[in-house]
Structure 1
């Protein structure tokens, strides 16, 4: 039983480290300290685990694939940048290492609206 508890605790530590790493990485991208979006395999390597192990641990602990959370964090970062700055959406896309038109498609696929529509929605609320 103690070994199972130890494994569960280690898995929770890895999940927390995963979230902390993607938050830090996205902040570094937004600030220009990094210029390339990390792949899931890069994140796993940074955490000193295999890509497959990262997927298994996150799926087991949360019920979702790590990419699900990475996408959500990218959208959150983009939204906060659109909320807190007047930087054009195309520049935000570049800061997050996306081609602006690809970012718009990515954003719309996962958020249901374009970055421009998000900005219009937010400015109407203000």
Structure 2
């Protein structure tokens, strides 16, 4: 990745912080079942009262990755936790995180190099 030589403004840092905070809150709601559908990036932009392109550009400038990459990394962490620390079927974990089970397996394997079942078999303590 190319090193950026422009400095980050206070407002950009604030937007990034608000995005991460709203993302964490939304993911908690998704896991707990309070909401059933994962937000799109434009919905986060709406929550922050900014343009989706501005949100994407700001997150890339501040965090060095796209909002989608930040979102997926957090989903991967949550997925690993649910797979290892619960006895929920993989298909149910996929549905909780608003994934079709086959797409969830592809998503998970892209982040871990293993299928959810392989990951559970290697790491499950229960």
TM-score normalized by structure 2?
0.87
The alignment of Structure 1 onto Structure 2 pairs a total of residues equal to 120
Q: Which runs of 4+ in 1 moved over 3 A?
A: none
Q: Report the Cα distance in structure 1 between the residues aligned to 2:49 and 2:119, rounded to whole angstroms.
A: 37
Q: Report the Cα distance in structure 2 between the residues aligned to 1:111 and 1:38, rounded to whole angstroms.
A: 23
Q: Report the Cα distance in structure 2 between the residues aligned to 1:81 and 1:23, rounded to whole angstroms.
A: 16
Q: Report the Cα distance in structure 2 between the residues aligned to 1:36 and 1:90, rounded to whole angstroms.
A: 16
Is 1:54 aligned to residue 29 of structure 2? no
Counterpart for residue 116 of structure 1: 117
How far apart are 1:108 and its partner, in Å?
A: 1.0
How far apart are 1:117 and its partner, in Å?
A: 1.3
- Gaps in structure 2 of 5+ consecutive residues: 1-6
- Report which stretch shifted further, 70-79 or 114-123: 114-123
TM-score normalized by structure 1?
0.87
- Gaps in structure 1 of 5+ consecutive residues: none
- The two structures, once aligned, show a CA RMSD in angstroms of 1.7
